[in-house]
């Protein structure tokens, strides 16, 4: 299965949905910083993996799929829930790559340039996530 871009999907998203994500992302980052300040980096670090994108993304996918079916005259459908479950499967693979992202920063950040390490960690996250996704597709 090929990876592709569907820019038309952006038109489905309302401005308040963009705003909600921005506010949620900003709020979680501030709260994470405050937790680290009060309880230290060990506790604060747990929240660096807080699901800031996944819950709202899955909710939107479910809503859009449900609305698509409703416009087609189908009132009750499992499609939205199935699409959200599919999104969650992808996110599950992403969390494993996220753990590798954290491990790389933990081990190498004290030794090397921070920009190089963060760029490398992001590249590692993306490469691992794509690799696991491809392997999963091959095994199905």
Partner 1 sequence: MELVERFLLGGLIVSAFAVVGEVVRPKSFAGLFGAAPSVALATPTLTLFTEGKHYAALEARSMIAGAFAFLGYTLACVYFWGKGVFEPRQPPLPYSLSGGSLP
Smallest distance from partner 1 to CB 29, Å: 2
Chain positions 84 to 103 lying near partner 1, rule: CB under 8 A, are: 84-99, 101-103
By CB under 8 A, how many residues form the interface with partner 1? 88
Using CB under 8 A, pick the residue from 71, 78, 127, 135 that binds partner 1.
78
Residue 42 engages partner 1 in binding (rule: CB under 8 A)? yes
Q: Judge residue 88's burial from the number of C-beta atoms within 10 Å of its C-beta, 0-12 exposed, 13-18 middle, 19 or more buried.
A: middle
Residue 83 engages partner 1 in binding (rule: CB under 8 A)? yes
Q: Which of 48, 55, 54 is nearest to 106 (CA)?
A: 48
Question: For partner 1, which is the closer residue by CB, 73 or 133?
Answer: 133
Question: For partner 1, which is the closer residue by CB, 9 or 72?
Answer: 9
Q: Which residues of 22-55 are buried (b: 16+ CB within 10 A; e: fewer)?
A: eeeeeebeeebeebbeeeeeeebeebeeeebebe
């Amino acid at each position: 299965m090929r990876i592709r871009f569907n820019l038309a999907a952006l038109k489905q998203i309302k401005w308040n949905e963009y705003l909600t994500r921005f506010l949620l992302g900003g709020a979680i980052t501030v709260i994470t910083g405050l937790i680290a300040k009060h309880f230290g980096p060990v506790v604060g670090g747990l929240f660096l993996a807080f699901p800031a994108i996944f819950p709202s993304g899955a909710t939107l996918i479910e809503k859009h799929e449900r609305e698509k079916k409703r416009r087609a005259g189908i009132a009750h459908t499992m499609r939205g829930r199935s699409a959200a479950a599919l999104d969650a499967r992808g996110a599950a693979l992403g969390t494993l790559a996220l753990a590798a992202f954290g491990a790389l920063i933990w081990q190498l950040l004290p030794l090397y340039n921070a920009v190089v390490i963060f760029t490398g960690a992001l590249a590692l996250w993306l490469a691992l996530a794509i690799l696991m996704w491809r392997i999963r597709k091959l095994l199905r």
